[in-house]
Chain A
């Protein structure tokens, strides 16, 4: 018996990285999946964008676990498209129990080189996209008689990190979103929590970090803020997925409004 047997989970940013890992970990434990991803070119980021082939690979891997998956190429900023993807997925899979608001982007730039485009794009995706995800899925969770919402924040949602002002603000905003929804949705037996990863071994977490080099050389005092307390360089996607699974499962049935750090102690510095 899987730990989320018979449940249905909606995962954003599911084409690869943490999102794919969440889909697979939940499917391993018995959940069916509704997946969305932009799967298209994203301007201004230093790492490759996810593709339709990536999303198809997530579908293939979930189906290899004998679970069902409804995957749609969808931009979380596009409310009409999101509503269609969510409503269609729920219609096909019958209900919704778990929401994982995972999709996000990260652009490294110091304060004076953070462009208006990058600011708007980061807030639009990481924060407004998460709000779209929650507001459009909540009616289905209420209809279901309860559920679990997990938002991906960051160590940068708890403390400031250098050269990431738009990202830091968006991830702090996600905590505010979590707290607001946790308060309002408790009466419906809907739990709302955040996870706070440190660096994760994904395209965003590994290929996107190059711009830190010259900035940290110019401001060496700030380098320690990015370090982990445990003697590891980076976490794996499955480490984040195991936290998502705990919060999604009935093992976490009375856990709400929690900021769950999976950060190797980064925020303890």
Chain B
């Protein structure tokens, strides 16, 4: 049986672990080869929230994609560093022949202060990675897609925080709204080339980004060492469906739909995978 993205090549940022790894595996399961990048470092200023991905994580993504008999070109690259990002992509395209799908997934989640208390450095770090990094990703890949002349699908990872305000999370919320603006502009510019551009909007996803004490404390500020078990009922409360968080594969299934020819006429859409978070 032919895979749903058989023969396509997907460029994925933040692919060392979490949603990015899951996207790589889900697309590979359905027949795609992968170009993967990740910063593979703990980002200065982020340590108080959660640890960054490692080179071992990226190597594990490589191992798991290859176990599916698909090819993968993986590079350590920071989405803020345009020349490095472009070089990684260009090497991947040279080796795998083309690029058809883009998942601009890399992002960080910093939070916890009311807006007037957020430092410039934190604002810049979050927006540089989450917004400028997405723009860099698109900027690097668009010339390939146009030159190939075979269309393409660009999927940008926004968030429920790209659709609604989120108290005490101003930099992240601004960055994820910016992603929607990038998507809408690219959808208009690229439609004549049959390149589709859409966003996905996850609620909380069961990855290291939310499964940490600092995130739990956002909901339980008086608890010095909140646990996953204590946090789960509070996470249930923010969704409409009776679940605390979704799994990475739930986002990957949305990415797969948008990446595949099943969605060949879907562009400019904001695809929420949010368990009803935004209806509340």
Residues of A within 8 A of B (CB): 179, 182-183, 186-187, 189, 191, 198, 229-232, 235, 239, 242-243, 245-246, 251-258, 260-265, 267-268
- Contact at A265–B268, with CB atoms within 8 Å? yes
B234 → chain A closest CB, angstroms: 17
Chain A residues near B278 (CB-CB < 8 A)? 257
- Contact at B191–A257, with CB atoms within 8 Å? no
Q: Which residues B242-262 have CB closer than 8 A to chain A?
A: 242-243, 246, 250, 253-254, 256-257, 262
Q: List 13 A-B contacts (CB under 8 A).
A: A183-B240, A186-B240, A186-B241, A186-B242, A186-B276, A235-B265, A242-B263, A257-B278, A261-B266, A261-B268, A261-B269, A265-B191, A268-B267
- Contact at A262–B253, with CB atoms within 8 Å? no
Chain B residues near A239 (CB-CB < 8 A)? 262, 264-265
B194 interface contact, C-beta 8 A: yes
Nearest-CB residue, chain B, relative to A179: B279
- Contact at A230–B262, with CB atoms within 8 Å? no
- Contact at B192–A231, with CB atoms within 8 Å? yes
> Which of B187, B242, B272 makes the CB contact (< 8 A) with A257?
B272
- A2 vs B239: C-alpha distance when bound (angstroms): 29
- A48 vs B246: C-alpha distance when bound (angstroms): 45
Contact (A230, B241) CB under 8 Å given A260-B271, A268-B188: no
> Which of A182, A242, A264, A265 makes the CB contact (< 8 A) with B276?
A182
- Contact at B279–A243, with CB atoms within 8 Å? no
Chain B residues near A235 (CB-CB < 8 A)? 265
- A229 vs B266: C-alpha distance when bound (angstroms): 10
Contact (A255, B263) CB under 8 Å given A183-B240, A230-B196, A231-B192: no
- Contact at B194–A254, with CB atoms within 8 Å? no
Chain B residues near A186 (CB-CB < 8 A)? 239-242, 275-276, 279
Give the dominant DSSP class at A's interface: mixed
> Which of B184, B242, B265, B272 makes the CB contact (< 8 A) with A262?
B265
- A230 vs B268: C-alpha distance when bound (angstroms): 10
Chain A residues near B192 (CB-CB < 8 A)? 231
- Contact at B242–A243, with CB atoms within 8 Å? no
Q: Which residues B123-171 have CB closer than 8 A to chain A?
A: none
- A198 vs B246: C-alpha distance when bound (angstroms): 31
- Contact at B266–A243, with CB atoms within 8 Å? yes
Contact (A257, B240) CB under 8 Å given A243-B263, A264-B267, A268-B184: yes
- Contact at B187–A229, with CB atoms within 8 Å? yes
Chain B residues near A260 (CB-CB < 8 A)? 266, 269, 271
Nearest-CB residue, chain B, relative to A269: B188
Nearest-CB residue, chain A, relative to B278: A257
- A235 vs B196: C-alpha distance when bound (angstroms): 15
A154 → chain B closest CB, angstroms: 14
- Contact at B274–A254, with CB atoms within 8 Å? yes
- Contact at B262–A256, with CB atoms within 8 Å? no
B103 interface contact, C-beta 8 A: no
Chain A residues near B188 (CB-CB < 8 A)? 229, 265, 268
Nearest-CB residue, chain A, relative to B264: A239
Apart from A254-B274, A263-B266, 17 more pairs, CB < 8 Å: A183-B279, A187-B242, A189-B242, A229-B268, A230-B196, A235-B265, A242-B262, A243-B263, A245-B262, A253-B250, A254-B275, A257-B272, A257-B276, A261-B266, A263-B265, A263-B268, A265-B267
